[in-house]
Amino acid sequence: MLRWVRQQLGFDPPHQSDTRTIYIANRFPQHGHYVPQKFADNRIISSKYTVWNFVPKNLFEQFRRVANFYFLIIFLVQLMIDTPTSPITSGLPLFFVITVTAIKQGYEDWLRHKADNEVNGAPVYVVRSGGLVKTRSKNIRVGDIVRVAKDETFPVDLVLLSSDRVDGSCHVTTASLDGETNLKTHVAVPETAVLQSVANLDKLVAVIECQQPEADLYRFVGRITVSQQTEEIVRPLGPESLLLRGARLKNTKEIFGVAVYTGMETKMALNYKSKSQKRSAVEKSMNSFLIIYLIILLFEAILSTILKYAWQAEEKWDEPWYNEKTEHERNSSKILRFISDFLAFLVLYNFIIPISLYVTVEMQKFLGSFFIGWDLDLYHEETNQRAQVNTSDLNEELGQVEYVFTDKTGTLTENEMQFRECSINGIKYQEVNGKLTPEGFTEDSPDGNRHSLMKEEELFLKAVCLCHTVQINADQTDGADGPWHANGIASPLEYYASSPDEKALVEAASRVGVVFTGTSGDSMEVKSLGKSERYKLLHVLEFDPNRRRMSVIVESPSGEKLLFTKGAESSILPRSKSGEIDKTRIHVDEFALKGLRTLCVAYRRFTPEEYQEIGKRLHEARTALQQREERLADVFNFIERDLELLGATGVEDKLQEKVQETIEALRLAGIKVWVLTGDKHETAVSVSLSCGHFHRTMNILELVQHKSDSTCAEQLRQLAKRIKEDHVIQHGLVVDGTSLSLALREHEKLFMEVCKNCSAVLCCRMAPLQKAKVVRLLKTSPEKPITLAIGDGANDVSMIQEAHVGIGIMGKEGRQAVRNSDYAIARFKFLSKLLFVHGHLYYIRIATLVQYFFYKNVCFITPQFLYQFFCLFSQQTLYDSVYLTLYNICFTSLPVLIYSLFEQHVHPHVLQSKPVLYRDISKNAHLGFKPFLYWTILGFFHAFVFFYGSYLLMGEDTSLLGNGQMFGNWTFGTLVFTVMVITVTMKMALETHFWTWINHFVTWGSIVFYFIFSLFYGGIIWPFLHTQDMYFVFVQLLSSGSAWFAIILIVVACLFLDVVKKVLYRHLQPTSTEKVQMYSNRVALSDEFIALQPLSRARNQLSKIRWKKIRVQSAQHVTLLKAGTEGRTIGNC
């Protein structure tokens, strides 16, 4: 039981050994000495809490907040000693704050549990007791044989046993893990590949030994021992045998595999970061401010205690005749009395720490988050998806972002390749109506009219159709006619490719008449305009990043041996000896300037003697036991020479809509964009150029393909030197995963220096945890910048969780990123509205809210401190206890809450169209020390005016009524309180730029409510109250003309200086935001005038305002996007 509890709390991992032994189908040895290893179950957990740890963990997180911990101490003090106020005044608000926050965070975590349960409850099939058994994903155990069908995702990490293919191979796509959409081929060992039925698999006796789980997606070391009759066959297992959870089975009807890693031990889960509580910069500032106010509180309490004893040094004040001490009080310890008095003053002044601030902030964040979901500008109509808010605690953090880390595939791009142009024999072609048309030729042929291809065109297209690793859906290759109907028109084939570029090229070739119809054995079949040709595949020279090309050697139907090669222009053109090399090079540069991904295509004919020599060399290199890679590279270079250039292709990786504009806007806002992708170097650079992440004028620096620490360090030093020498030019940095690992090992500081001096950084071939490490590197740098990570796949989850703000894209790669993100949007372009409008407004609102709360509590409690000088520090309260309780809860709470929900200090359209305004709020500008000092001093100034203004105007010689009755202490306190409520409410009104009827209602309604409440509270004798010191006090106060005069004069005196300061600063030293505000106000006035005009005149007026968006909905409706409403309709004018 204890072990289970420790495992649930995460203290006791299930396994301790360095390796694990897995008995397939859980057929354990029968001898008695074997002790089964303990493995994790197959549940995926993305939530923060469990039923067992919710209460202690949530309480711990909440009491990390200074105010919560402080009020807990105050509550305990009030329980232990006799204090001026009841324990309820501290305990009840604290309980309310803790409960509301716990409910909110519990609800958000319940949503995560719900999403986890959907994944863990998914149906799967396992082989048990000689048959297929349907069960839930969470019930899979290590050792179970699992069946996965076509297009299903793998529920665990599996070692492939067999597939529906004779050779035991299958194809998978790992887009949700590493962002790559290409097909990867996995193979089973020969001894298990033949076991294609459940009955045969059930008889399998085998043991797998492998390493314990690790996060590296591309590493797996193990071996399988298969028992066949009397012998045991041992086969090595590598990454090609491992099927990862989250990957998807493609182009294979079904596979069987044995579960080796389950649940949170799968490689996908190990690449998740543990869920941690994210805290915004605003909350950290709040805690700092609370500590300062706690110091002020302690100072006031200590000073009051000291002055009390200084007063009581005189005997007449120590024990006056009307308040004699008891015998117990005379004999009590002076130290204990001092401590007791200090704690009593602490309780008396404790309202300077605003516990209701946290309640208001929680409500503001929770209610304010709904506006993101309701924003129609963040709604994607094609997919019917709106923005989601998974964590409302970070709304204001959206306004503080300094670095954006983005995935490429599916985030910046649509993940769709499209053939655009090609160059054949020095002539540029485009695809028009299903045929290749030379550039400038616009005459369209009739639809369906088949045309003949020139010899060079046909050879080029055949090269494209043969030099690839494309697979065809097995369901489409059956039948005598193949993919052709009787009328000769091709039906669309479903291609699966090792590269999205290859797929786009083969599909384009099929559209213009040269169709790759599949492979059978070692033959590849091509149909050129309906005529079938079969080529024998002799050798494949695989792609590698050093050569940057791939080749195939085939035998044509005529028996000729041909080499077809395609690759980057830098690796093909220097090896070409004939063809239109110069023209093709010019065309390639033109394609690249358009942002297209380019490949060059070439071929070579072999004589029988040359082919014999090549075959011999290839065989020797491939069977070599020593230096096999180097020998193969030499042979490949020997083969791929003296090429005849055929042409080049231009393929577009379709960018998402408005990606370029969004990245440029982020740059204008002072935000640096880093692209982190698992894709290849060339692909990533091409997309960075096309999306505007890299500019054509930018100097691109590279830190790639470094395998030793010394070469990496030397290259970093050279890059740093180049940046210093060319400091005027903008620089972009490209770094790959292996070089990054070396750079972060011992040269982290130098690497960071290079990165920070670059305008844009691109990291390619990144493992998921490497993405998180890069984000953490920036987070923990000395400047402590606010980071945002955005991605769409499971490979992005780690960086999404690591960044201050994580955003998931609702793309095609599942829902892992969305489930683990703080916010989710449908498209990358929505990021600008999310940051520049929602983030900007949320930050301004909450920054004002926090500082206003401290201001009004300084105004509230400082007169209480000043009053002690007039009552011999006897701890007499200035305000009635009901006023003490209701000041923050009722009288002053609603205006600031409504402000924090609806305030728009600048028109949303202006915020989005002028990203530079985002710089004005960066680095927590509105919650820095200067604004905090201003609001604190203002609070003390107003408090002094309240107290001494009331004292001077309504002093000892001023009578209240005509009968000569004088002011009492409750009347004086009520006057101070009345002035204070009106002043702090009016101060909030001065800060408000955007007025709605709700603002008017709560602002003036709060003042009216205070007066009505005070009249009823003091005008009636309430039977349930023990004492009623306030009976008729407020009525008498309001019946005095001098009191009304004092209220008006003090309020005007307090706010007059504020108004003068605002006017002078706006006209003499206006900020860029204030200039925009004045411009917006002028336009807003014209809007109000326009709204009253007839429709035709309104249209004319509206046309003069250039930045307004006008949407004519019908002949009788014009929607005007105006501050305060997304769509304001002038109807039936």
* C-alpha gyration radius of the chain: 38
- How far from 660 is each of 413, 592, 663, 687, CA to CA, in Å? 11, 16, 5, 11
Classify burial at 697, counting beta carbons within 10 Å of its beta carbon; exposed 0-12, middle 13-18, buried 19 or more.
exposed
Please write down the long-range contacts of 911-914, taking CB distance under 8 Å and 24 or more positions apart: 911/836, 911/837, 911/840, 911/841, 912/832, 912/833, 912/836, 912/837, 913/1107, 914/1076
Comparing CA positions, the residue from 47, 7, 14, 40 lying closest to residue 157 is: 40
Is residue 385 within 8 A of residue 818, CB to CB? The reply is no
Whole-angstrom Cα distance, residue 49 to residue 301? Answer: 40
Write the CB contacts of 566 (distance below 8 Å, at least 6 apart in sequence): 463, 464, 467, 549, 550, 551, 572, 599, 600, 601, 602
Whole-angstrom Cα distance, residue 197 to residue 201? Answer: 6
Per the listing, tokens 């859980």 go with 26
Per the listing, tokens 């301790």 go with 16
CA dihedral 759, 760, 763, 769 (to 10 degrees): 80
DSSP 565-621: EEE-HHHHGGGEEESSHHHHHHHHHHHHHTT-EEEEEEEEEE-HHHHHHHHHHHHHH
Which amino acid, residue 849? L
Which amino acid, residue 419? F
CA contacts within 13 A on the Cβ side of 392 = 20
Comparing CA positions, the residue from 703, 690, 678, 692 lying closest to residue 764 is: 678
Q: At what angle do helices 929-953 and 1041-1068 cross, to 10 degrees?
A: 150
Length of the chain: 1133
Comparing CA positions, the residue from 371, 907, 401 lying closest to residue 665 is: 401
Which residues lie across from 222 on neighbouring strands? 210, 237
Comparing CA positions, the residue from 886, 881, 895 lying closest to residue 853 is: 895
Residue 184 three-state SS: strand
DSSP 130: T
Interstrand relation of 561-567 and 576-578 (parallel, antiparallel or unpaired): unpaired
CA contacts within 13 A on the Cβ side of 232 = 8
- How far from 826 is each of 381, 382, 657, 811, 1031, CA to CA, in Å? 10, 10, 11, 7, 61
Whole-angstrom Cα distance, residue 80 to residue 63? Answer: 21
Looking at 407, 796, 822, 880, which residue is catalytic? 407
Interstrand relation of 823-825 and 805-809 (parallel, antiparallel or unpaired): parallel
Is residue 964 within 8 A of residue 946, CB to CB? The reply is no
Residue 375 designated active-site: no
Instruction: Give the residue numbers annotated as catalytic, written as ranges.
Output: 407
